[in-house]
Every structure is written in C-alpha cells, then in structure tokens.
C-alpha cells in the first residue's frame, strides 16, 4: 500500500500485473501468519494448567517433609529443656515458677503426643496425595492422556490449538501451525523474489519507498519463519 502512495503512477504502470500478484502474496503472508498465531494462542496456558496438577503434587512434598522435621524438633526441644533444667538451678526455679511442677513433668509426654499427632497427620496426607498422583498417572494412556484430556476440556476437541497439542503429545493429527507457517514462507519467498527482480528499477524511480530496507525486513522475517519450523 505504501508503494502505491509513495511512488508515482508510472511505477505502477511499469510493474504491471506483477505488482498485483505481489500484493496477493503479501495478503497470503499476512493471513497465514495470523492463522499460525491463532493455532498457537492459548496452547501454553492450557498445557500449563493441565501440568499444574503434577506441580501441585510435587509442591506438597517439601511441606510434608517440613512437618516431619517440626515433629522431630519438638521432641528434641522438650528433651533439651529437661536436660538443661537438671543442670541449672536457676532454669529449674524459673520453669517451676512459670509452668508449675506438674506442667514441667508433662512437658515431654505432651511434646511426644504432639509429635506423634503431626507424624500421623503427615503420613495420612502423604498417602492421600500419593493416591491422587497414582490416579493421575494410572489413567488410560498415562499422564500424557490426562494432560490431553485437560487441554481438550479447556480448548475444545475441534479447536486447532487442541489439535496442535494432540500432535505434539500423542503424535496424532496434523501440525496446523507448521502448515500455515510453510504457506506463509512460500508467499514470502515469492515476494522476496519479486522484490529482487524489481529492486534496482524501484530504487531509481521510487527511492522514497526504500526497497533496500524493505528487502532487509523481508529477509529477517524469512529467517524467523525458518527458525519457527
């Protein structure tokens, strides 16, 4: 469009039908690039949401380990307090005034009971988490099938984005993103070829359009499309 607005009418007449064809190729390039982006939209979020279930399972492991360590520290702390109390008259009097003789005598049993409660609760939670993780992994097809099922619920079974996820995870179906990228690249190659053919005449008759800069941008886009394949 800028070529039409910046260059004199004689340039359009010189290029003839080839300019119209180049414009068609540019339109194809835009359309196919847009379709490729549409296929890719939403895929990372859907897969992240699906795989987040595994992340939830993994995230509970440090928490349960922390509870077990807390239970051990609780018992060790109670024992340490009682040992220190037997070797320090000042600490013995302080604890007797603060807690009372009967409470001091119950310090270790109470600490042991709390530690046992924490360990039992941790064990029960670990078993429940292991059961959920096992259920997630033991579905028909394994974790991949579970992730695909979640992606299907988020994206819809007929969406091209779900088809892309199915292609990469299960190796089934077509990769529509690559198909659109290939079509976009073919159109781009055609435009680059057209520009190379008319580059020097355009530089002489319409330097304000900067054919050299346009060619450099097109080559950069070509490299980017090659890398995306």
| Predicted local distance difference test score (pLDDT) of residue 50 | 65
Contacts of 107 (CB under 8 A, 6+ apart): 78, 81, 82, 99
| Residue for token pair 């001091």 | 104
| Predicted local distance difference test score (pLDDT) of residue 138 | 58
Measured between alpha carbons, how far is residue 64 from residues 61, 118, 124, 125, 138 in Å?
A: 5, 10, 10, 8, 23
| Predicted local distance difference test score (pLDDT) of residue 59 | 60
| Residue for token pair 């190659």 | 189
| Predicted local distance difference test score (pLDDT) of residue 161 | 79
Pick the residue with more confidence: 114 or 142?
A: 114
Contacts of 133 (CB under 8 A, 6+ apart): 54, 57
| Predicted local distance difference test score (pLDDT) of residue 163 | 78
Percent of the chain with pLDDT strictly greater than 90: 0
The tokens describing 71, both together, are 């239970």
Contacts of 130 (CB under 8 A, 6+ apart): none
How many alpha carbons fall within 13 Å on the CB side of residue 180? 17
Give the burial class of 217: count Cβ atoms within 10 A of its Cβ; 0-12 exposed, 13-18 middle, 19 or more buried: exposed
Helix, coil or strand: residue 41: coil
CA distance 65 to 112: 18
pTM, 2 dp: 0.52
Pick the residue with more confidence: 135 or 165?
A: 165
pLDDT category of residue 127 using cuts at 50, 70 and 90: confident
- Give the tens place of pLDDT for each residue, 35-64: 888 877 777 777 677 666 555 555 666 776
Contacts of 212 (CB under 8 A, 6+ apart): 199, 203
- Mean confidence (pLDDT) of the chain: 74
Give the dihedral sign, CA 30/36/38/42: negative
């Amino acid at each position: 469009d800028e070529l039409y607005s910046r260059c004199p009418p004689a340039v359009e007449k010189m290029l003839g039908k080839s300019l119209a064809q180049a414009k068609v190729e540019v339109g194809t390039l835009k359309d196919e690039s847009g379709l490729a982006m549409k296929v890719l939209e939403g895929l990372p979020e859907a897969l992240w949401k699906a795989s987040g279930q595994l992340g939830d399972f993994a995230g509970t492991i440090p928490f349960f380990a922390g509870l077990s360590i807390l239970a051990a520290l609780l018992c060790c702390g109670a024992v340490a307090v009682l040992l220190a109390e037997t070797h320090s008259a000042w600490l013995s009097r302080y604890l007797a005034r603060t807690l009372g003789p009967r409470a001091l005598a119950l310090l270790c049993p109470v600490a042991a009971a709390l530690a046992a409660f924490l360990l039992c609760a941790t064990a029960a939670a670990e078993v429940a988490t292991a059961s959920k993780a096992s259920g997630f992994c033991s579905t028909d097809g394994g974790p991949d099938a579970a992730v695909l099922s979640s992606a299907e619920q988020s994206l819809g079974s007929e969406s091209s984005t779900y088809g892309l996820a199915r292609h990469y995870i299960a190796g089934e179906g077509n990769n529509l993103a690559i198909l659109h990228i290939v079509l976009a690249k073919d159109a781009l190659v055609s435009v680059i070829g057209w520009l190379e053919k008319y580059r020097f005449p355009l530089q002489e008759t319409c330097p304000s359009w900067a054919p050299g800069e346009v060619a450099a941008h097109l080559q950069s886009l070509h490299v980017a499309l090659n890398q995306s394949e």
